Amino acid sequence: MRRILAIFLVFLKNWLRNRSALFFSFIFPLLLLIFASIFTSERTQPITIFVQNQDQETQLSKVYESILNKTFNVEKIPSNISSPVNYLKTKKQGLITFKIRILIIPKGFEENATTLAMKEAIRLQILNLQRTLSSPYINESIKQEIIKGINVLQNVYSNLPNKTLNIKLITESEDTDYLLLNSILTQINGSFINNLIGVNATFSINHETVYERRISAVDYYLAGLLAAFVMTNGLFSTAPTLVEIRVKGILKRLLGTPLQKHEWFLGIIFSILLINSILLLEMLLAAVIIFKAKIGFNVYWILIFYIGMFFFIGLGVFIGSMVRSEETAIALVNLIGFPMMFLSGAFWPLEIMPDFLKYVAQVLPLYHFHTSLRYIMVFGDTTPVINNILIVVVLSLSFTILSIKFLRWKET
């Protein structure tokens, strides 16, 4: 135990004093988690819409603007700007975080709205009177008076000009939120006209909520990044280091002492285990404190985290025992690690990847590792990812056995 502790401490000190190892083990994953979660998190801010009111002096256009303001984050474009699009494009050169969504309230909006509302009110009145004519409770003389009234109203209705509000909406061609925006605006417009003619809403929507845990950005990245960096820590802290120790003659020095192979192996394992535990802790703290991630602390995902770690340590030890030069070891772990990191879906969902890459991802061990880890972390259930878990367990067992068998602890 004393010797295992000595090896453990030496490896740990060597790792913690290596600035680049420190950066890539602890700081880089944390930065990735923070930035990825910030830039891809679900929208909580209202949609921003730029409004140019060309009918600025009128009261109704201002009322309409205030209704928009209740739904959207309204930013005004001065009415004297002849090309609002160019105006925003100019602005966008310095500030690229918003989408071009312009709503133009045309000149004559109030006049058109008033006419439209009046005409609509008359039409409704005519319809109402026509319904009254069929009533058995109204006598003939009154009916004749109503008919006269209908005729007068129809006369007025037909003399009023046909108007539309002609509100103009300009969006970017690739704006996927266009349909949503259009639908919201249609409802706002209908409601505006109804209010104008004095019709109250005749039906309401009762809103109930149900709780359904969905995968948020931080859920996705937390598991993905944990898995990816457990992989890099496992591979990079073993393969090149073991070769370096052998090539530099450090192994020979240790072989001249009573140190045993299993003590050497366990010392290495425990140091990486602690490094990965620190990584896990800092990532969890960041996810919970900064992004309010809801992580169920059950034993299964903690188990799968450490089981997965053994696979990558085993693979790293195996590579480190088989190759002769440090350069070859670094090249090999890069060759294995980086494609796995980017193709396995650890950093982005497989859904956005081409079909053939989805199949490629599913043969990569990292895919099964981060998928099972994520699912259990988020939903606390192992059943749907049992196959992924089994793959991780089998790989870990196999490579741990291989690494124990092939770990060099003698000179031939």
Q: Which residues bind other proteins (CB under 8 A)?
A: 2-3, 5-6, 9-10, 13-14, 17-18, 248-250, 252-259, 410-412
Enumerate the H helices of 292-379 as residue ranges.
299-322, 326-343, 355-361, 365-379
CA neighbor of 340 nearest in space, from 370, 320, 319, 318? 370
Bridge partners of 49, per DSSP, are 74
Neighbours of 334 (CB within 10 A): 13
- At its nearest, how many Å lie between other proteins and the CB of residue 273? 19
- At its nearest, how many Å lie between other proteins and the CB of residue 96? 44
Q: Which is nearer to other proteins, 275 or 391 (CB)?
A: 275
Strands (DSSP E) found in 5-72: 48-53
- At its nearest, how many Å lie between other proteins and the CB of residue 256? 4
| 3-state class (DSSP) for residue 143 | helix
Euclidean distance between CA atoms 88 and 95, whole angstroms: 10
Q: Which is nearer to other proteins, 15 or 291 (CB)?
A: 15
Q: Which is nearer to other proteins, 110 or 263 (CB)?
A: 263
Q: What are phi and psi of 349, to 5 degrees?
A: -65, 145
Q: Which is nearer to other proteins, 307 or 407 (CB)?
A: 407
Euclidean distance between CA atoms 215 and 221, whole angstroms: 10
Q: Which is nearer to other proteins, 17 or 43 (CB)?
A: 17
Q: Which is nearer to other proteins, 89 or 248 (CB)?
A: 248
CA 24 → CA 18, 30, 197, 233, 312, distances in Å? 10, 10, 66, 8, 16
- At its nearest, how many Å lie between other proteins and the CB of residue 259? 5
- At its nearest, how many Å lie between other proteins and the CB of residue 277? 21
CB 382 within 8 A of CB 376: yes
- At its nearest, how many Å lie between other proteins and the CB of residue 7? 8
